[in-house]
Structure 1
């Protein structure tokens, strides 16, 4: 529908023009105003697409009314209707951006032709606006996926440099030299608040929110040099925790240390997870730096060994080996005559590591927390066995697919859909696994990340399409899933050390 406003102090002129319009055009909503003042009031409320404006009217002239209407509704189109076809009026009309000029009296055919031209212009602009609106909605949706994708890659995988640069360019929030990670711990019934959390972080303009893994939501935060680290972290934490008040649930945020190198983001993430261990605190957030000294150094070889060993046992559902491993550690602590309270602390950190691995695999588990300080090793063994049994049941109940079947399923899905806008989140949903677990499977089974595999699939298809001389590089780029030919060229050159054009000439020109 096109909203039309006819402004003329002569009622017969208004009604005559409306009659012509209704007889020759469909989808018009026509209103009338007898002077410029009323036209200004109506425009402020109804935002007409097309205004027919008489020049000579009592009070506000037509040209002055157009000036004011422009300031109220800049996209409106104007057709001047007047009996005074002077050069001066025409010159003023052009300066005001008037689309057309109708001289009284005019033949109906001339009026219709003039209106047709302006309505066509309005229609084209409306279509363009609607397409832009749809594109913007699609981009916003895609950017939300890109954001979770980038966070997952930075925290759990090696990132394809070209791919990461493109995603960072699309996101409005720039990376800074210093970053830290916050881990939001949500209760099982508060997952519906995840979009609201993302919106809060986005509004601050200082962070990216990752995919929800079980009850945990990782947030990469970029340091703002205008504030201290603690001030920035607490301010963001409080903004997120205000949502907790509305949900009436217990939320908790762990905050890792600041690191200057991108490669250290995973370290900050692990610290943030450990900082959520003591989640029953009145302030509902905890800095890793404020925790009592840990028995395990996150960057030590021994910790990495524990992490890899536990992951292998959990991936293959080898709970008997995992339980035996924890039992051996407990016996070793007892032989060393470590106080049971100190042993409990070390075992709590190991149990927390196991729960984090399960969470990364997409398996929701209750947090392994000892109910109280143990008084003896007998009590410690019993409570540890109980916590392990709960986590074992959670994994068995989750009914995780076999790894071999999973990776084959994922590979075939990527091959079949490589031309689409695939993301780690989309692939993970298709496989019924967590994004983090998919990332780990790729790295372990294939030795590459999913982006590298997706890129290989696309480039192999591109090479086949290059055999057709009728296809342009732009067409090939779009057909294999790259909307930006320049980005396609960068990826191709990085892989084959030749631009797509040079590769085609060298390979298929013979």
Structure 2
């Protein structure tokens, strides 16, 4: 139990802290406050279970502090501590829900008993609440599974509606390649609808998401967005997506669609998809050609292919989402480009292709710079002259090079020189001065300092270790 001690007398606070820490088990003194204002701030920041609260303090007194704390943290329990044996104080404290009132100077046994009474009460309430929550979750999972199997009785349907009074319909996801520990936080963070998830087998989960009054197109977009988010976050996962059901009684169809979509996902394909009766168009048809043209950054061809498509725009968005997913797997940053919520798909295609072109251009810049550095790293080359080889300003070149290689210019140059130095140190006939010059350093002492910094050893130590 986390405890905060509130008393304007420092000696009283320190004595109480020492007493609790040395004499009682199951309690942690999370903080101390010298007045009511600080007590309110600590309650908001530390969220303790219990607060020992003095009544008479300068500024905001203990009763005023309790009133404010209960507005922001109603579950905190209080033990009032006062040197005043006044029925009025006790009466006011009881109005605020205070159940324990200790007079100063009190016996240690009274404090111990009061703290343990409240600890037992809190633990009992939490245990009961946890039991109720677990029972409710099990019931939700049971009803979700019954709805997936089209076996909801009228009584169960009514119970479902009591648990989710605003739910009008929903859809199912079937997921594999992830664990409950991975899936739960993703759903908590990204699901915009109430949900129930439960295991179907050792490595497969069903997730039911319940919609309220959203348009079907908005629900379908949300279904794809969530499936894409999960499969991007958990490598090797895959997700089948069922179409939205307009009523709770029709959720079984959505589950069957999600399962069959999951079953149809093949290695190398997009990791999530809706179910469709007809097979996915094979490679060579316009869908696959559109995907490949985007992956290659061919704007003209991609827009031409798009103009020939007659499919449902939502289906085309799904194809574009698959292409976007492939780009992200290649390390191309297209997260800022919205597909599922796009109004102008032509513009979306153009943006995806241009990002590919830009990335390819940056990769070529880094490749030219690396080629130049490898050919001249034994010479005193500079960032400015290397940037000039790529036709970029030094500032922009620095940014591109770091993004593409993960290293700064000087770090990459140093790594080339250190690898050459390590190779040369194997030759016992070469002096350290000769090796420094051959690795691109004109100052042997500076070379030795850099070598030690990079390898943790001096050149002599490295050579001796290699020889041994």
| TM-score normalised by length of structure 1 | 0.40
- Larger relative contact order (Cα-Cα within 8 Å, sequence gap ≥ 6): 1
| TM-score normalised by length of structure 2 | 0.43
